[in-house]
Structure 1
Amino acid sequence: MRSSCVLLTALVALAAYYVYIPLPSSVSDPWKLMLLDATFRGAQQVSNLIHYLGLTHHLTALNFIIISFGKKSAWSSAQVKVTDTDFDGVEVRVFQGSPKPEIKYYDELCTGMAEELNAVIVSIEYRLVPQVYFPEQIHDVVRATKYFLQPEVLQKYKVDPSRIGVSGDSAGGNLAAALGQQFSQDANLRNKLKLQALIYPVLQALDFNTPSYQQNVNTPILPRYVMVKYWLDYFKGNYDFVQAMMVNNHTSLEVEEAAALRARLNWMSLLPASITKDYKPVVQTTGNARIVREIPQLLDARSSPLIADQDVLQHLPKTYILTCEHDVLRDDGIMYARRLESVGVEVTLDHFEDGFHGCVIFTSWPTNFSVGIRTRNSYIQWLDQNL
């Protein structure tokens, strides 16, 4: 009996050690976030083990685990019709509905948007790593969106061609931003986007030491190390570069290809003093020029929309950007807002002091966060007022 109690105590202590991480008191529902982060870390570690054993790519395993927990098959209700189809060969899920309050999760978020906005929501199921790598994901999104913008398709779904927007969160925010920039330069497009809404978007891979990267280096759900690995996954790059990239060796002063782009993400001028605080830029004199030579995609504006030319940015539509304080990507969004404002684009920057990366989809039990509900409502309210 005593040995069983000792073993149980040890297991509880180990579980507590695994779950507990120090978090700032300002973050929303800290203990719940610790549990969510521990679950996500566990899924990543299982996925990495599967990858190490050669069974499948770690992102394939991770996506399977996440889908098993969160993604539901298409369903219809009296309020929202949900159908799976394809647009020019790209899988999409279409949500059509009329107003009715309160829904939950990624499919639920789209359903809620369809109901509350009385809108047609098209969720593009772009192909993922390792099936394809950059820039194929962008090609999928562009192809599907151009298909949807055809007059006969808009008519089929009863969509007003003057009220079309593009949106995405995290990596999806990256693709939405890249799509917006590409469409703003396409003179052949008959129907233009009215707005873009970016939720904690990934916007650059040149500086992994912005104040938000330094402040949130180990913060859930997206620590810096994981973000750098995701970038290398996207480019099919070498994991040996992770440590060098985390200290900005890939954009050191000796890397001439990056020199002209640094000013476009000079956070000392783009961020307010309330954010820069006492943080110092990390600019290496010498680094590893081999990284950019092997992965030139790092400096491509299609992967890093924040570094686009000014004459590209000035043609973008009205923009909404949601950022969270406890997120390595916070400053990407704020810098993009400032660059857009500087060329005359109307921007709403919606910042949440207690927010963390991914929070907008966590609105339902048992992963219901107060900041998740508030970010979701704020985002949908802006769309309702501006679309």
Structure 2
Amino acid sequence: MGAYRYVIIGVLILGALSGYLFHPPVPKGLSEPWKYRLVLGVAKITRVLAFVKYRIASRNQTFIDTYRGMYRKHRPKELISGSNIRSKVMNFDGVTVRLYEPIERKEEATPAMVFMHGGGLAFANIDVYDRLTRQMAEKLDIVLVSVEYRKIPEYQFPAQIEDSMKATRYLLTHASDFKVDASRVAVSGDSAGGYLATVIAQQVYDDPDLPNIKVQVLFYPGTQMYDFQTPSHQKCSALFGNDGMLTHQTLAWLGSMYHFGKADFEFMGQVMSNNHTAPSFKQTKRYQKNINHSLIPKELIPDFYQPPPNNTGSDVLWEKIRDVYMDPRHDPLMRDDLRGMPDSFIATCGFDCIRDDGIMYAKRLEQAGNHVEWVNYNGCFHGVLWQGWINFKNGKQMLEDGLAYAKIHL
């Protein structure tokens, strides 16, 4: 009877674990739900294994270091049979990059793209993204620079922007060395990489010594860290809770490490309730103009949406973080004048808590007179573009649409 009891307990534990790993909430309308469950389950298993390894085997290592070690480490091949692209790792003004170049060129001076990878500014690397970036270089037949920026929490704001800007500046000022037309350079990135690409486009525009970026291709970018109660935040909190590819809590955790180099739980709690800024700042015309929920199409706003109050917040915390938040590189959506920005393709996902970051930025770019193609992929979740070993139809379409836009406008 005792052995039978242990078998029952074991089955119950395995059933509960299976439910946790492979049966998360999947809202109606999310495309290819079984693939989503599989990808999220594998992500959870990876986190669990990383935690076990960290607690048992890791020495002089943080959990984040251990988790990073779960990513593949082998160096991608420079040449692949049948490909017209050659890649190599280089140093651009102290920043490691992977440079992709066409072997046979159709033009004497080709267009180029600088790509910043996603991963919350903390995870992933240019090796993990090689499959995607090589594909982008191949399909566009251009020079592509994939940037290995420094990661949080070891390096906080603005280290990641500085590295991305150094690499971009190096390409623009040494374009002839790579047979690149400096007037036809794009920036691109997904998620946190989309945030970096957005900031870099603005920074290049502000530098009179550099030619302007021609095109930006942004895949579900984050563009602000002020408002965590947008319609898309409220939607995803209601549908997923803390069980999704990107959640309220994860964003607050990453934001804390971006600012302080550690998980500051008081700050995280204030961020999630929109109380990390002062009421007086929320009531300014600048805040209300730049972070404007009325820019979100009505059909994308859930029935239960509640406009966040502008009379709550923390004066004390705001004074602590004010200098960082007011830095023009911190929140590209807060830039007052968006005239002169590159031609822009902006992809957002229907089941993504930062969907509205991309929408508001796209709408404000349009209002400033820029050419913008914004596409919302209703059935997609955050991270759909890159999953390494599994393809999503909508993710494939998103990439094809972004590359088609780049090819036309470059």
TM-score of the aligned structures, taking structure 1 as reference length: 0.88
C-alpha distance in structure 2 between counterparts of 1:96 and 1:18, whole Å: 44
Please tell me whether the aligned partners of residues 230 and 293 of structure 2 are also in contact (alpha carbons under 8 angstroms).
no
Please tell me whether the aligned partners of residues 206 and 248 of structure 1 are also in contact (alpha carbons under 8 angstroms).
yes
Alignment partner of 1:196 is 2:201:
no
Alignment partner of 1:209 is 2:229:
yes
The structure 1 residue matched to 2:399, chosen from 365, 376, 379, is 376
SS of the residue 1:124 aligns to: strand
Number of residues of Structure 1 aligned to a counterpart in Structure 2: 373
Aligned to 2:361: 336
Aligned to 2:293: 268
Please tell me whether the aligned partners of residues 317 and 345 of structure 1 are also in contact (alpha carbons under 8 angstroms).
yes
Please tell me whether the aligned partners of residues 97 and 148 of structure 2 are also in contact (alpha carbons under 8 angstroms).
yes
Aligned to 1:17: 19
Aligned to 1:224: 248
Please tell me whether the aligned partners of residues 88 and 147 of structure 1 are also in contact (alpha carbons under 8 angstroms).
yes
Shift of 1:72: 4.7
The structure 2 residue matched to 1:76, chosen from 79, 89, 97, is 79
C-alpha distance in structure 1 between counterparts of 2:132 and 2:223, whole Å: 23
Aligned to 2:374: 349
Shift of 1:230: 0.6
Aligned to 2:311: 285
Aligned to 1:128: 151
The one-letter amino acid paired with 2:393 is S
Shift of 1:368: 2.3
C-alpha distance in structure 2 between counterparts of 1:265 and 1:205, whole Å: 12
Aligned to 1:37: 40
Q: In the superposition, relative to structure 1, how do residues 324 and 264 fare at CA in structure 2: closer, same or farther (>3 Å)?
A: same
Shift of 1:162: 2.3
Q: Per-residue displacement from partner, 1:326-375 (whole Å, max 9, x unpaired)?
A: 1011000000001110110110102101111111113x64x222222222
Q: Per-residue displacement from partner, 1:204-262 (whole Å, max 9, x unpaired)?
A: 11110101001112362101110111111111162321112111111352x44873542
Aligned to 1:62: 67
Shift of 1:155: 2.2
Structure 1: which 4+ aligned runs deviate by more than 6 Å? 51-54
C-alpha distance in structure 2 between counterparts of 1:46 and 1:317, whole Å: 43
C-alpha distance in structure 2 between counterparts of 1:177 and 1:285, whole Å: 30
SS of the residue 2:341 aligns to: coil
The structure 2 residue matched to 1:176, chosen from 197, 203, 207, is 197
The one-letter amino acid paired with 2:333 is L
Please tell me whether the aligned partners of residues 72 and 107 of structure 1 are also in contact (alpha carbons under 8 angstroms).
no
Q: Per-residue displacement from partner, 1:88-131 (whole Å, max 9, x unpaired)?
A: 110000112369xxxx9721111111111111110010111133
TM-score of the aligned structures, taking structure 2 as reference length: 0.83
Please tell me whether the aligned partners of residues 51 and 57 of structure 1 are also in contact (alpha carbons under 8 angstroms).
no
Aligned to 2:118: none
Please tell me whether the aligned partners of residues 247 and 282 of structure 1 are also in contact (alpha carbons under 8 angstroms).
no
Alignment of 1:225-264 (within 5 A): 225-236=249-260, 238-253=264-279, 255-256=280-281, 259-264=284-289
C-alpha distance in structure 1 between counterparts of 2:177 and 2:80, whole Å: 20
The one-letter amino acid paired with 2:208 is A
Please tell me whether the aligned partners of residues 57 and 130 of structure 1 are also in contact (alpha carbons under 8 angstroms).
no
Aligned to 1:90: 95
Q: Per-residue displacement from partner, 1:276-296 (whole Å, max 9, x unpaired)?
A: 343122125232222222222
C-alpha distance in structure 2 between counterparts of 1:58 and 1:292, whole Å: 29
Structure 2 runs not aligned, ≥5 long: 105-126
C-alpha distance in structure 1 between counterparts of 2:276 and 2:408, whole Å: 42
Alignment partner of 1:165 is 2:217:
no
Determine which structure has the larger helix proportion and give its number: 1
C-alpha distance in structure 2 between counterparts of 1:48 and 1:229, whole Å: 17
Aligned to 2:116: none
Alignment of 1:95-134 (within 5 A): 95-97=100-102, 106-134=129-157
Alignment partner of 1:301 is 2:328:
yes
Deviates more, 1:315-324 or 1:368-377: 368-377
C-alpha distance in structure 2 between counterparts of 1:54 and 1:214, whole Å: 40
Please tell me whether the aligned partners of residues 97 and 120 of structure 1 are also in contact (alpha carbons under 8 angstroms).
yes
